[in-house]
A and B are shown apart, each in its own frame.
Chain A
């Protein structure tokens, strides 16, 4: 049983509505109370990098705005009416009905209502995401179960080189757009054709293309395993699971070699690209070295407070590339027990035999208590959310907001992934340090 929480770092299962919003021209229809959409958008998008409403987010999301009447007498009629009119008013290519607590506790037969529209040819699916069922990582996987089972159709052909990319959660990760773009660029450099489902691109057309891919690339510690396994089961598409978000030359090189080998890309192609990128990358690293070594403002040990994507990815980079020392890492999403051994193993395999302690849990009070009982000899680097800027200040640390909620910066296309992303991260970290006193 998950305990009570101070300082939310993710939202409930219905938060997966933002994954729908991230697909251009896909339209969520939420069967929920009047405040759910606003609260989830506020937490995941508006207060998290100020990501905006996009095509159909924020208050544009169709919703039954369930009231006492729907709770007492059931909300199926209201839902039917709302879906019917959504199909007239809202211009989209895929409609996803998602439920909130009210509908799921009352027990509305949403499937029955939605199937009646699907039977008439509407591109519509449903998923039961009542907030009490789990967090938005869980809801995100439920969403894909629904799209795979109710929307995708088997493909007659496999498109060689086409790779579906499954990685960070849209909106939950304020840097998702830039990150997916960076991953796509890396794959293209190997001669592969990335199928990026979210963000600027082809929208629902890229969803429909999923079954024809050569393979699914899961670039994630655990989120999405359920999705790629389901895709393998349903369409026979194999998957490559690479757990660490590649940040910096070391991990990105390993990532490219792994993907290249899996996809049958010629070794010379891979090595030529890595060499070209590293030459450029290390030109800048060399420039940074003067500051990094000849300054009195070096950070001490580092702490990450982020979901497993970022906690692991950042820790790898900071240890293996920047040469920093880990203090403790907090993993904030609810990681199912069965996936923890893999994450623990990843945190025990860094260069120089370094190991970082890992704590699971999102409660800000626990983070505060854990950090205040530690002795930091130098000012620590604290990569967390905007909540953590307060404890960072108390510890005289250097805070950089990398995880939801990021409310102290506007995020557009920034990413920390790949070669270029690592340079951005290095700039960001040392800019925080240098601007902390001037």
Chain B
């Protein structure tokens, strides 16, 4: 199904990609039941813990565009996560030497009277203030449950602004209640960028790679790799300028570090402007980076250069990897991550010689926007051994129960607020916060050494676990971890 940029909002992942947040079974079963055009229904839970919403994901991308502003049309609590976005903003600006400033975001501070009489007036105030205070190159208006349910006319307010705000003002439809898949918020943000910022190409830039990522910590590494094959990355969306985003249609290729993140914008740029989107597994580990670089090479006709680059990178790191594998031999792990990373890291941990006992994926897209199953899960399922696999929107009670049964040596997790609970159980937790963890050959060996450090000194988790108790009843630990998942069709 092609991406439609003529509509005002991106359809949520549940309807667009068949995304689910409830499943328990095995990896091979999930892949078999969602392949060849088949789809499975989501299993609902009869008990759940607080998850995350689209608005947070939309704002995490948009709040750090270098010269844009956000108007968050919502009660003040919906801006709670902007505190963290500002930490990311300072971190990113500090290392890029962009100068010290806070994120440019205004919350409309919706109150009871706004839910009765409508919040259009405040939204208008918010947009005008954003323009007056920040002189941004674009303004994104993010919605909320409150503004969505009362039906504020975002587009109407924007169209009435006229010349008062002479930059693009773009609605971002990210009401929390609309989707259980927080990654729908990425698509909402990308849809806004694609429809409100990106311009048709004036002149193709044959060396430019759109590099879709989050915080972009490994910029120097990526620049070096690309430089060696005559390409140049442009890191999007955080910390890019509006002007840079306007011309992503001119790039030679779009690549991503996270296929959950990249699917929408990569596919849209390919369909709309003919910019090829690299659809390989993500660039984690030797296998991942090699497939990914070959995908990029094929898209720009640099296959031979890529093969030479891979040879050099491998030669520089292979011995190290052997040593790491020797040290990690016999280690057993559980992992809990967003779908792209959960799938990709099954391969990464294979390469490090770590056995995965169970993988939990925060959601699962049955297909990507270009109509195929995620390549990393196909690769993981093609291995001889099947593994226990679950899908849940970070339901910690399921993870806690699973960990206490399996007692792995290590819990690998990705998403704030997930790894600490394993540590409280006395299990060494290795959080994968940075999206470039295990990126490429060098990233994999760095990650390997980090894991060795983590399992070498377990004193902190041991002492922590000696004191603290998780908030679950003893009854719960006797139940099947997925017993609150309503069984779907079998």
Chain A residues with CB under 8 Å of chain B are 1-8, 10-15, 27, 30, 32-44, 46-48, 52-53, 55-56, 58-68, 70-71, 81-82, 85-86, 88-92, 100-102, 105-106, 131-136, 364-365, 386-387, 389-390, 393, 405, 407
Contact = CB atoms under 8 A, between A and B. Distances in A.
A61 B80 contact: no
B51 interface: yes
A14 B129 contact: no
Interface centre among A7, A10, A52, A53 (most CB of B within 10 A): A7
Interface centre among B76, B105, B114, B417 (most CB of A within 10 A): B76
A405 B129 CA distance: 22
B80 A88 contact: no
B47 interface: yes
B81 A65 contact: no
B180 A86 contact: no
A67 B179 CA distance: 7
Contacts of B420: 52-53, 58
Contact of B80 (A11, A27, A89, A134): A11
Contacts of A46: 84, 416-417
9 contacts: A6-B133, A13-B77, A27-B471, A30-B50, A39-B79, A41-B417, A68-B177, A132-B114, A136-B77
A11 B176 contact: no
A59 B394 contact: yes
A39 B78 contact: yes
Contacts of B53: 33-36, 38-39
Contact of A60 (B83, B115, B421): B421
B80 A105 contact: no
Interface in B380-404: 393-394, 396-397
B122 interface: yes
Interface stretch (B141-149, B153-161, B220-228, B289-297): B141-149
Interface in B115-171: 115, 122, 125-126, 129, 133, 144-146, 149-150
Interface of B: 46-56, 71, 74-84, 86-87, 100-102, 105-115, 122, 125-126, 129, 133, 144-146, 149-150, 175-180, 182, 393-394, 396-397, 416-418, 420-421, 468-469, 471-476, 484
Contact of B83 (A56, A62, A407): A407
B50 A5 contact: no
A39 B106 contact: no
Nearest to A58: B417
Given A11-B76, A38-B51, A132 B146 contact: yes
A39 B484 CA distance: 25
A56 B129 CA distance: 39
Contacts of A30: 50
Given A37-B50, A43-B81, A68 B75 contact: no
Interface centre among A52, A58, A136 (most CB of B within 10 A): A58
Given A33-B53, A62-B47, A85-B484, A102 B79 contact: no
B140 to A, nearest CB: 15
Nearest to B400: A60
Given A35-B55, A132-B75, A405-B83, A3 B109 contact: yes
Nearest to B48: A65
A36 B79 CA distance: 10
A4 B48 CA distance: 33
Given A35-B56, A60-B397, 16 more contacts: A5-B79, A6-B105, A10-B76, A12-B76, A12-B77, A33-B145, A34-B180, A36-B77, A38-B81, A43-B77, A61-B49, A66-B177, A67-B179, A101-B144, A105-B115, A365-B129
Contacts of A5: 76, 79, 106-109
Top 10 nearest A-B pairs by Cβ distance?
Answer: A35-B53, A37-B50, A12-B77, A43-B80, A85-B47, A131-B75, A47-B83, A63-B50, A33-B176, A39-B80
A42 B81 contact: yes
Nearest to A81: B46
Nearest to B125: A4
B84 A47 contact: yes
A89 B473 contact: yes
Nearest to A90: B471
